[in-house]
Amino acid sequence: MKRVLIIGGGLAACTVARDLTYAGIEACIVERNSSIGGKVRNYGCKATGDCLNCGLCTAATLWDCVEKNEKIQKICNATVTDIVRKDGLFLADILSGGISETHMFSDIVLASGFRDIYGSTVFQPGVIGGIAMERLLKDRREGELFDSAPSSVALLLCSGSRTIKDQAPWCSRFCCGFSGRTARVIKHVYPECKVDLYYTDYQETHPEYCMEKLREQGINLVKCRARCEGSEDGRPVVTWDEADGCKSAVYDRVVLINGIVPGENNRAFAELTDLKQNSDGFLEYVKEPEITGVYLAGTVKGPMGVNETYRDAAYTAVRIIEAYKKEASN
C-alpha cells in the first residue's frame, strides 16, 4: 500500500499531493483551515503590465487541480493529534468535526508552513503587515490598491526579523523580492506617489527587483535599520539612526515586510516523528526520509519564497516516488 499523509494544505502540501498522484500514489491532505491553499492562495500577483516573476503563476491552476483530483483526499478543519508507527506503516489519529478517526499511511509529509510573525496584530492607522499587503495586491483593480491614493509609502524590510527580540534572528529570504516587486506595483498604480524602501541589506537575485531597476522607477532606497514609531497628524512615522543622529519621516502608508517564523506546531510534530527542531525552531531530518518514511516540504524547513517552496515540494514528491519505485522493484 502506498498512501501518503500530507499535513498542511498550502503551496508545498498541494504540490506534493498533485505530483504524487501523477505517479499513481494516493495522498491525503489534512488542513486545519476550512479550505486548501494556505497563505499563498491569498497572495496577489505583482505584475505591472510586465510579469515580475513573483511565482504565483506557478500555483495558478494548482488549487483547482487538487480540489478536483479524486486521488487526493482533502480533510479540512482537521488536525493530526497522534502518529504511531506499526509494522512499517503509520497510524494517524485525525480529529475533524469533533470526531477522531485513525487512518493508515505508508509515508508522511510535513508541509505545515510558517507562522505570520504579526498574526492578528492590530497596527496603528496607515500601517499594515506583509500578509495584509498581499491581500490588497490580490484584490487590486486597475488604478486602485489602497482605499485612497497615498502621496507617500514606506516599505520596511526585515520587520520583525534579524533580531532575537523579534524571535526571528535570520534572513527570511523572500523580503527583498516581495518588497521590490510590491514597490514597483505601488509606483505603477500611483505614479506620483513617493515610494521609499528601507533595508538592512538587499539581495539582488532577479532583474525584476534589482536596485537599478527600482531606482529607474523612481523608488528611493535607504540603507538603515528603520522602525515605525508613533504618528504625526494621524500619519505613521518612520524613524532610523544615522551618524549625525536620529532621522524620521511621515508617510501616508507604511508596509512592514515581516519575516517568516516557525510554525507553532513544529515541536509537537518533531516529538511525533523522527525529526528534530534546529536552533531556530524549524524542522530538519535526523535520518534520511527514505529510511524513516517522514518527509519535509516547504517553509516548515526554513524561510523560502514562492518559487523556492514550489521547487522544494516538487523535489520531495520525486524522492517519495523514487523510494516507491525502488521498493516495488525489490
Percent residues over pLDDT 90 in the chain: 72
Which three cell numbers, joined as nine digits, stand for 18? 498533485
How much is the mean pLDDT over the chain? 91
* pLDDT one-digit tens code per residue, 231-266: 999 999 999 988 888 999 999 999 998 878 899 999
The DSSP line for 250-286 is E-SEEEEEEPEEE-TTHHHHHHHTTEEE-TTS-EEES
pLDDT for 102 equals: 97
- Helix/strand/coil for 318: helix
* pLDDT one-digit tens code per residue, 53-83: 888 988 889 999 999 999 999 999 999 999 9
pLDDT for 165 equals: 62
* Pairing mode, strands 220-223 and 227-232: unpaired
Place of cell 510558517: 114
For the ranges 109-123, 157-171, 237-251, 289-303, which has the lowest average pLDDT?
157-171
CATH of 3-113+263-329, one of 3.50.50.60, 3.90.1150.10, 3.30.450.20, 2.60.120.10: 3.50.50.60
Fold of the domain built from segment(s) 117-260? FAD/NAD(P)-binding domain (3.50.50)
pLDDT for 277 equals: 95
DSSP state of 144: B
Q: What is the pTM of this model?
A: 0.92
Q: What kind and span of H or E run contains 102? A: strand 99-105
Q: Assess whether the region 3-113+263-329 and the region 117-260 belong to the same CATH fold.
A: yes
pLDDT for 122 equals: 79
Give strand pairing partners of 127: 254
C-alpha span between 161 and 243 (Å, rounded): 23
Q: Give every CB contact of residue 320 below 8 A, 6+ residues apart in sequence.
A: 4, 16, 20, 25, 107, 109, 295
Count CA atoms closer than 13 A to 255's CA, side-chain side.
Answer: 27
Model confidence band, residue 21 (pLDDT cutoffs 50, 70, 90): very high
CB 295 within 8 A of CB 108: yes
pLDDT for 329 equals: 86
Q: Residue 161 above 90 pLDDT?
A: no
Closest CA to 180 of 161, 199, 167: 199
pLDDT for 234 equals: 93
Return the CA Rg of the chain: 22
pLDDT for 163 equals: 64
Which three cell numbers, joined as nine digits, stand for 81? 493529534
pLDDT for 166 equals: 59
The CA-based diameter of the chain, rounded to the nearest angstrom, is 73
Domain ranges (residues) in the chain: 3-113+263-329, 117-260
Q: Residue 132 above 80 pLDDT?
A: yes
For the ranges 58-62, 168-172, 272-276, 312-316, which has the lowest average pLDDT?
168-172
Please measure the distance between the N-terminal and C-terminal CA atoms of the chain and give it in whole angstroms. 15
